Amino acid sequence: MSVDASRDALGAVLLQHGRPVEYASRTLTDAQRRYAQIEKELLAIVFACEKFHQYVYGKQKIIVESDHKPLESIFKKPLMSVPARLQPMMLRIQGYDLIVKYVPGRYMYIPDTLSRAPLPDLYSDEIHTKIVYQLKMVINNILEGN
């Protein structure tokens, strides 16, 4: 996996033998935009693991490429030695066998592009509202039919 976090979004790509298998990106919430950079980069790893779960869960030694060098040492520490703000995110990925590897940002062009040009999340609220209206209409029709 190759991950990146920018100021406003996360990007991840699942690679096999250097070729992309799947891409993912998402924008950050307002609270997540205020995270420190190391928190955003760790969140990108959590996002990638959860997004590509069906591919990576149960596999041994998943290499995660990140352009944030401090993450390498964080992943070598026991959980209790990790800063308290990072511990909840580390707990979410405990079931994965991850090896974080630093790769300079200039070689991380795919996740960098995904994190810097995400699609807006406007559609999710619109879709949710439409689904709720649709369900209410179906329920009302069922109740009126009885």
Top CATH class of 2-119 equals alpha beta
- Residue with the bigger pLDDT between 130 and 67: it is 67
Residue closest to 65 by CA, chosen among 17, 114, 15 = 15
Task: Note the pLDDT tens digit of each residue in 111-135.
Answer: 998 888 776 655 555 666 777 777 7
- 64 pLDDT band (50/70/90 cuts)? very high
Residue 41 vs residues 26, 102, 116: alpha-carbon distances, Å = 13, 12, 14
pLDDT of residue 126: 62
pLDDT of residue 137: 79
For residues 84 and 145, give the distance between their C-alpha atoms in angstroms, rounded to a whole number: 56
For residues 43 and 5, give the distance between their C-alpha atoms in angstroms, rounded to a whole number: 8
pLDDT of residue 132: 73
**Given a cut of 70, is residue 50 above it in pLDDT?**
yes
Task: Note the pLDDT tens digit of each residue in 1-12.
Answer: 999 999 999 999
Task: Note the pLDDT tens digit of each residue in 14-27.
Answer: 999 989 999 999 99
Task: Note the pLDDT tens digit of each residue in 68-94.
Answer: 999 999 999 999 999 999 999 999 999
For residues 111 and 90, give the distance between their C-alpha atoms in angstroms, rounded to a whole number: 21
